[in-house]
Amino acid sequence: MMNGPSDESFRIEELPASGNLSLESVNASLESAEAALNEKRRAFAEAAERRAELEAKLDEARAAYVAGRETREQTEGTAGGYRAAEQFAASVRAEADRNGEHDRALHERMVEERAAYEATLFLARSTQQRENEEGLEAERLDFERRLASELGRQASLGRECEDGRSDRVGATL
């Protein structure tokens, strides 16, 4: 049970007119405090919305980074496969040369050169993907930094809103 009047039933206008000047200043102070609290609540809601947007962007950046890394690793694996094919073709060509199989050696030389060419292409792609991956990593780190900053701001605004509510309750009692 409440000993004092509730916010809904207590109206400054209902008090006797003898203290109008001080009541008017109290009323103005309360209105000012209410406006400030509403502004803090609006800022808190905006900060929460920005935080949610940053979290979504961070999730996207993380997913893009992981996908880019996986693609690069696959590309490097493919390049490794071509390097292995190049080495195998070189050993088969050397054996064909030793055995005097000129046509077979010529064929293996073409396979070896083609595998070397493909490996070079995949390694070049891998280099581009690594550079892209580094950009995605920088973007992810930026989102993490911005999110941490926004979380701090939101926490600060939340404390200010709580303090504003406490001040308002103390002023009305």
Q: Which long-range contacts (CB under 8 A, 24 or more apart) does 39-46 make?
A: 40/157, 40/160, 40/161, 40/164, 41/161, 43/157, 44/154, 44/157, 44/158, 44/160, 44/161
Q: Domain segments of the chain: what residues?
A: 23-73+118-172
pLDDT at 165: 61
Question: Per residue in 106-157, pLDDT tens?
Answer: 999 999 999 999 999 999 999 999 999 999 999 999 999 999 998 888 888 8
What is d(CA 125, CA 128) in angstroms, rounded to the nearest whole number? 5
Q: How confident is the model at residue 20 (pLDDT cuts 50, 70, 90)?
A: low
CB 122 within 8 A of CB 82: yes
pLDDT at 12 (0 to 100): 47
Could you give the CA distance from residue 168 to residue 32 in angstroms, rounded to a whole number? 11
Residue type, 94: A
> 149 versus 19: which is more confidently predicted?
149
| Residue 151 φ/ψ, nearest 5 degrees | -65, -40
What does the pLDDT read at residue 45?
85
Which of 12-21, 22-31, 120-129, 148-157 is modeled with the greatest confidence?
A: 120-129
